[in-house]
Copies of this chain bind each other. A is one copy, B any other.
Amino acid sequence: MMALALLRRYGTLIGFVLILAVFWISLPETFMTARNWLNTTQQLSMLMVVAAGMTIVMAMGDFDLSVGSAASLAGIVAGALFIAGYPPAMAVGAALAIGLAGGAINGVLVSVIGILPFIATLATLTIYSGLAFVISGGKTISGKSIPESFGNFAREGLPLGEVGGVALMLPNLTIVAVAVVFLVWVLLEQTTFGRRLYAIGGNIEAAYLSGVPVRRLKLAAFALTGLSAAGAGLMYASRVASANPTQGSGLMLNAIAAVFLGMTMSEQGEPRILATVIGVLILGVLDNGLTQLAVDSYIRQILVGAIIVLAVSAGALGKRGRR
């Protein structure tokens, strides 16, 4: 009984640890190194930021399909302002503001007008993506248009000293991702705002009857998700030192997947930010490890899917219980 309960609760986590162990054994030299992990966290930082934002709306039981487009749009807006000669700080600020506004629009559609989140954010996905195309003329903004300082941000970091003759640094993108995760953690776990979001997610009827201002909170939550998407879009643009109207599109499904993976780790199946972090790491570590093992791209796809199924099965089987 005890073992089953542990499996139920920590099934996915155990799966994650097993994945790590397999890679560590197969790649003894390169996988479990500070360098590789610093690299991996940097690679995952954009996804992490979007997934953190996604956790906010998913805590309320909603979700947001438009994050990928919002990320692309933010990158394009910043790029267009760079071209127009605005200082980087201003361009970045404007791009974040666009994200916040885009998120707020989602919030209005969902909470004030009352459109199902799936349709509302699918529609805005299309709209924001269209806007990104229109603003950029469909082209990639890159090269000299992008200020040095902006492109360098993603390349720099906090020096951590040398290990084995190689200089290590904590990448700026990783720092940003950690900071965002911390802020979202505080928001969701330590403030009335966050707790109310969980109340809405757990039983919207009960929350409403108890006087929770459901509409207002939904709006705010969606706005924050939009803001985080814009942040991720800027990180992405900085990392590729260019802005492209489709570059965020891969983020949405992965972010939702990371949150869902995390949800398999919480007792009542609610999204939790720290569990989302594990979800992101699972997705990222699989990619990193399988690439290092030089597994064929197609086989890798199959393996990623199969491993995810296995990782969550243990927890699911334990949880199945009655039905």
> Which residues of A approach B to under 8 Å, CB–CB?
65, 109, 113-116, 118-120, 122-127, 129-131, 133-134, 138, 204, 208, 214-215, 253, 256-257, 260-261, 263-264, 269, 297-306, 308-309, 312-313, 316-317, 319-320, 322-323
- Secondary structure of the A side of the interface? helix
B316 adjacent to A114 (CB under 8 Å): yes
Chain copies in the assembly?
Answer: 2
B260 adjacent to A116 (CB under 8 Å): yes
Candidates B127, B214, B263; contact of A306 at CB < 8 Å: B127
For the A-B complex with A126-B302, A138-B298 known, give 5 more contacts whose Cβ atoms are closer than 8 Å.
A122-B257, A130-B300, A130-B302, A130-B303, A134-B298
Q: A204-B323, A323-B204, A323-B215 are in contact. Are A260 and B119 (CB under 8 A)?
A: yes
Candidates B301, B306, B322; contact of A133 at CB < 8 Å: B301
Please measure, in the bound complex, the distance between the C-alpha atom of A109 and the C-alpha atom of B297, giving whole angstroms: 24
How near does chain B come to A146, taking the closest CB pair, in angstroms? Answer: 22
How near does chain B come to A210, taking the closest CB pair, in angstroms? Answer: 13
Residues of B close to A313: CB separation below 8 A:
109, 113, 115
Residues of B close to A125: CB separation below 8 A:
305
Please measure, in the bound complex, the distance between the C-alpha atom of A107 and the C-alpha atom of B128, giving whole angstroms: 35
A305 adjacent to B257 (CB under 8 Å): no
Q: A133-B298, A204-B323, A298-B134 are in contact. Are A305 and B127 (CB under 8 A)?
A: yes
Q: Which residue of B lies closest to A12 (CB)?
A: B119
Q: A122-B257, A257-B122, A323-B204 are in contact. Are A115 and B298 (CB under 8 A)?
A: no
Residues of B close to A114: CB separation below 8 A:
316-317, 319-320, 323
Residues of B close to A269: CB separation below 8 A:
116
A116 adjacent to B256 (CB under 8 Å): no
Q: Which residue of B lies closest to A115 (CB)?
A: B316
B131 adjacent to A302 (CB under 8 Å): yes
Q: Which residue of B lies closest to A321 (CB)?
A: B114
Candidates B115, B298, B322; contact of A312 at CB < 8 Å: B115
Residues of B close to A115: CB separation below 8 A:
264, 309, 312-313, 316
